[in-house]
Structure 1
Amino acid sequence: MTKRMLIMLGTVGLFFGGILVYQLVLKPVMMRKFIPVGVIPPQTVSTTKAEFSEWRGEFQAVGTLRAVRGADIAPEVPGVITAIEFQSGQEVEAGAPLVRLNAESDLARLQSLAAAAELAEVNYQRDQKQLEILAVSRAVVDADAANLKSAKAQLAEQQALVNKKFVRAPFAGRVGIRAVDIGQYVTAGTKLVTLQALDPVYVDFYAPQKSLGKIVPKQKVTLSTDAFAGEQFIGEISSIDPKVDPATRNVQVRATVRNSKRSLLPGMFATVSIATGGPQRFITLPQTSVSYNPYGDTVFVVEKQKGQDGKASLLAQQKFVTTGSTRGDQVAILSGIKEGDTVVTAGQIKLRPGVPVIVNNSIQPANDPAPRPKDQ
């Protein structure tokens, strides 16, 4: 019985001893043999060559178009519309009649006051002649003169009221769609139609305060809008607001743009481009190449290095860069890398300094200086 127990204990001891020897001795040896310690698998990335390209100093902003002269035409007095003298969308001259209001009673009163003014004139002339022969006193003539002035003033006042019954275009331009009909009663201030002078037009936009030194009156601007793709409109800066908005640190700028075809309409938005300097050369990369961090902007550069076995391999090295302006998908690099460096454009999120890489440029990120939206 004791002998069997010893044999069983010995067998169990050998079994667990073998497991312990395997775990502590054989397994590490096998792992070192088949899995090299400290070897980092290479990461697949796409790259591009750092090259110089020409940049034009340019400032762009989104602006809003407004007419040099524009107004919603409304009557100064109430009344019933008796005639509409224009067609919607018509070009009209300054002073052209637009709407007539009922003025019969006002015209009748005008004739009455005109007759009273004529009578006051006759009385004044008669009494002046009588004063020469001392038939009347100076006081009578003075009273006649005062009555004449009062009558003429009342006549002028009534004439002004009658004139207000005839609504005229205050300036030349294009009328919009009429908002009233014949026979409609309108009060003072009721919109009748909009009138807009379309050539030239203003474009108002905002510029950051750092751009103020590059923007001056009479400077040329180029305007484009998605309503007329591929067409550019030329103008110049006409005024700069003398105050910077303390909330946004932006200043309002106004440019005047020729609009001979009357194609630009008030209220449209447009892109304003201003050339702010001569052409410059900068190393240019896709914006996806740069990792923007609070501690500094970085890129990964691929370098060829030889290992201990003498074989060359591609390793990623991180470098700090100073970025400049952007245009479309591109960014200008002011310092940190040199022309000809191989820069990672995609896949850098998997990298850290010294990591081996495999370059696969079958798919490249967008690198267009002036991208346009595409209809899918």
Structure 2
Amino acid sequence: MTTKRTTAKRMIIMLICLSTLLGTLFGFDVYKAQMIKKIMAGNGLPAATVTSAVAGYQSWQPQLSAVGSLRAVRGVEVTTEVAGLVREVAFNSGEDVKAGQVLVRLNDDADRAQLASLQAAAEFSQTAYTRDKAQYEIQAIAEAQLDADAAELKNRRAQVEQQAALVRKKTIRAPFAGRVGITTVNPGQYINPGDAIVTLQTVDPIYVDFHLPQEQLGQLGPGQSVAVSTSAFAGGSFGGKVRAIDPRVDRATRNVKIEAILDNRERKLLPGMYANVKIDVGSVQRYLTLPQTAIAYYPYGATVFVIKPGMHKNARGEMMPVAQQVFVTPGPSRGDQVAILKGLDEGMQVVTSGELKLKNGTPLIINNRLQPADNPAPTPQEQ
């Protein structure tokens, strides 16, 4: 009996100890869970540093943009029709010349001598014709003789005109007024027909050729104002007007060629330069505007993060703003900016950078010391 009592007492003690141990473990787990919950409630999501901007309305002038190429109103490579030895180069490289001004003279001594010989023969034929005509009038010679004299005179005069034309071709003149380029032709050099002597370009005014998609054709018309800029004169703009629209659309690209004419009296623009062309179309519009960096594009739509002030309390008891993701409908863009058609109201504060690390409810630290680009007409920068 004593042994049974001892065994029972031991079993009771063991059960009490086991119950105490299990209770302690359970209590520790509950305490740990409460502490974790308390810590999480106190700390919450870590704060993210972002930049921000306030959505506001701006005036937009609708524009069509294209890259074009400048072309001279008139431009040729001056050459010669006949071969010859250069006697004189009568211009300086880079100067302005008038229409008909002598540029190059070729050696024409032999040609002029031949012309004089033919002129003498023509004069003799004229004398013979005059004498035979007087003889024919008194019936001293036959009419056939007079006809032969007339034919001979016409032949001689034609030879004179042909030789005179050859002599004129030995003097090469500017076909129109313009500016000559740099020549490498020198006196004493022999040139053949088709050899380039110098380029001649009329640069005031000057054309700009560019292409636009066919869907924009309805917004274009002759006389529309254009603004042209080029990297050679950063910050400068040259005004002009649309002069012609090609009546044919390119089948491969579905683009149409446009020609505009520019005032170039200062002779800054040169043929062959590339140019950025902008054409104002329609009336001025007002759009709610944000920097391009504020918008995130996803397959299900475009979103921005709006900043909601005083929605989160940090460990020090301070109220912090939080991020709230909203869907927006973006509109046209210009430079670094984009128009917002739906989803935002004027005056809303929006995250402009750092949105990739955000989700709804993320506490925010706003630091606007370095803002993303927000230029409606940015220009390339070379570092």
TM bucket, shorter chain: 0.7 to 0.9
Conserved? CA contact 2:85–2:107, under 8 Å: yes
Q: Name 2:355's counterpart in structure 1.
A: 348
TM-score by length of 2: 0.84
Task: Write the mapping of 1:174-189 to structure 2, written as runs, cut at 5 A.
Answer: 174-189=179-194
**Could you tell me which of 282, 285, 296 is aligned with 1:291?**
296
Name the stretch that deviates more: 94-103 or 349-358.
Answer: 349-358
Identity of aligned residues (%): 49
The Cα offsets for residues 208-227 of structure 1, whole Å up to 9 and x where unpaired, read as 22322222111122223333
Residues 1:63 and 2:68 are matched in the alignment: yes
User: Using the alignment, how far apart are the partners of 1:244 and 1:145 within structure 2?
Assistant: 59
Q: String of CA shifts for 1:206-261, please: whole Å, max 9, x gaps.
A: 22223222221111222233333343322211111112223333222111111112
Q: Distance in 2 between matches of 1:201 and 1:306?
A: 62
Which residue of structure 2 lines up, in the alignment, with residue 258 of structure 1? Answer: 263
Q: Helix, strand or coil: the match of 1:241?
A: strand
Q: Where do residues 16-95 of structure 1 align in structure 2 (5 Å cutoff)? A: 26-27=28-29, 29-35=31-37, 40-95=45-100
- What is the alpha-carbon distance in structure 1 between the residues aligned to residue 191 and residue 29 of structure 2? 100
Deviations 1:254-289 (A, max 9, x none): 111111122222122222222212221100100101
Name which of 249, 266, 269 aligns with 2:254.
Answer: 249
Residues 293 and 160 of structure 1, relative CA distance in 2, 3 Å threshold: farther
Q: How far apart, CA to CA, are the structure 2 residues paired with 1:264 and 1:356?
A: 54
Matches within 5 A, 1:219-368: 219-303=224-308, 314-368=321-375
RMSD (CA atoms): 3.0
Judged with a 3 Å threshold, the aligned counterparts in structure 2 of structure 1 residues 353 and 137 are, in CA distance, closer, same or farther, namely: farther
Tell me the CA shift for residue 195 of structure 1.
Answer: 1.1
Determine if the alignment matches structure 1 residue 153 to structure 2 residue 155: no
After superposition, the Cα gap between the structure-2 partners of 1:186 and 1:35, relative to the gap in structure 1 and judged at 3 Å, is farther
In structure 2, the partner of 1:9 is none
Farther-moved stretch of structure 1 (363-372 vs 24-33): 24-33
How many angstroms apart in 2 are the aligned matches of 1:140 and 1:165?
Answer: 38
Q: Is the 8 A contact 1:179 1:191 kept in 2?
A: no
The amino acid of 2:367's aligned partner reads N
Question: How many residue pairs align between the two structures?
Answer: 360
- The alpha carbon displacement at 1:170 in A equals 0.4
Mapped to 2, the partners of 1:202 and 1:97 lie a distance apart of 27
Tell me if structure 2 keeps the 8 A contact 1:80–1:186.
Answer: yes
Q: Normalising by the residue count of structure 1, what TM-score does the alignment of the two structures yield?
A: 0.85
How far apart, CA to CA, are the structure 2 residues paired with 1:41 and 1:263? Answer: 58
SS at match of 1:242: strand
Which protein has the larger Cα radius of gyration, Structure 1 or Structure 2? 2
Q: CA deviation at 1:373?
A: 4.9
